[in-house]
Structure 1
Amino acid sequence: MPIATEQLEAIDATLATAAADQAAVSALRQVAPGLTAMRCDKADIQDETPFRTYENCDLFLIDARDHCVKITADPTVATGLVVAPKR
């Protein structure tokens, strides 16, 4: 199920000033039901390009349709969200 434009707007509003913490992950689960949402340390994802960047965190999209999970820049194939602190 692709991420709808309305969901992306809600995600942007949620993460605009949020910290990359459990509260942000919980909020993402509320605004994007059906998508996996998780937090990751920046060091674990440092070689990837964020889908979106905000004041305190970066957003990455994941594609878990196949057996391997991978980062994607395509919201039409994304199955989940990863939020990582900027620092």
Structure 2
Amino acid sequence: MLEEALLDNLAAQAAQAPLDDARLAELRLAFPGLSLTLCSDNDVPPKLQPVRGGEGFSLYLVDAREHCASLTNDAQNASGVVLALHDDD
């Protein structure tokens, strides 16, 4: 389960600098034990709503309880977060 405060904190910290591989490594250090993945927002199904967002990015939740991980809107079953970068256009 991912707490609202953790998601708020992650979104705030993610917004402090441009998201790239180096910034992702910093966020992983700041949130040990939380699975964080960086991708393009174009890779996320359009029907899924982000749980948080910021300038140039959206946060989506990951449910890894089953054999294959999947995106979810259910924070009760979430174990990770995808940071999805928006296109510049």
Aligned-partner Cα distance in 1 for 2:3–2:69:
21
Q: List, as ranges, runs of 4+ consecutive aligned residues in structure 1 with deviation greater than 4 Å.
A: none
Aligned to 2:82: 82
Give identity over the alignment, percent.
Answer: 34
Cα contact 2:38–2:82 (8 A) shared by 1: yes
Kindly tell me: are residues 10 and 27 of structure 1, through their superposed partners in 2, closer, same or farther at Cα, counting changes over 3 Å?
A: farther
Kindly tell me: are residues 32 and 75 of structure 1, through their superposed partners in 2, closer, same or farther at Cα, counting changes over 3 Å?
A: farther
TM-score, normalised to structure 1's length?
0.79
Aligned-partner Cα distance in 2 for 1:73–1:28:
21
The unaligned stretches of length 5 or more in structure 1 are none
Kindly tell me: are residues 21 and 39 of structure 1, through their superposed partners in 2, closer, same or farther at Cα, counting changes over 3 Å?
A: same
The unaligned stretches of length 5 or more in structure 2 are none
Cα-to-partner distance string for 1:1-34 (whole Å, 9 max, x where unaligned): x223442232022122433311332233123211
Question: For 1:37, what is the secondary structure of its paired residue?
Answer: strand
2:6 maps to 1:7: yes
Give the alignment's Cα RMSD to 1 decimal. Answer: 1.9
Question: For 1:40, what is the secondary structure of its paired residue?
Answer: strand
Paired residue type of 1:59: L
